[in-house]
Amino acid sequence: MKYSLLDIFRANHIINTQIPKRTQVIYAQQLAQGMNHLHKCRPPIIHRDLKPANLLIDFSGTLKITDFGLAKIQPNPEQTDKEVFMMTGETGSYRFMAPEVYLHEEYTETVDVNSYSMILYYMLCGIAPWHGLSGVDAATKAAVNGKRSVIP
């Protein structure tokens, strides 16, 4: 692998530029395809920690999802005791975390879609979502206060 998407974001920020729009679309599409693959598995795989540091770009320019340390297989509620296998609790990086995870509510693979939207925000805006706030403060604003990161 060549770089993480976070490395690319940081380098572009230093030189005050952005990833070319065509490349942004390609990365967004590749990430969506990777998530779709995980979520279409039976049972679905939930990554739970999608963020730019866990997305690597290889020498051919292909984006790869990495770091499955927090990934979980979504239990089938028809085959399990829901109370025992319900997925709740904080896991992942606060800045990219879905509100329901931060609030310790039950969640599904849609938490990865929230992370995807935060990654797109970072890529399109050139700054991290909730720039200037700590990760915990960002998660609190989104989950508790229902706020969204302002688009610059």
Q: Which residues are catalytic?
A: 49
Dump the DSSP string for 93-138: -GGG--HHHHTT----THHHHHHHHHHHHHHHHSS-TTTTS-HHHH
Instruction: Report the distance separating Cα 113 and Cα 5, nearest Å.
Output: 17
Residue type, 143: A
How many whole angstroms separate alpha carbon 103 and alpha carbon 126?
Answer: 28
What letters, b where the CB count within 10 A reaches 16 and e where it falls short, cover 114-134? bbbebbbbbbeebebbbeebe
Distance between CA atoms of 30 and 64, rounded to whole angstroms?
8
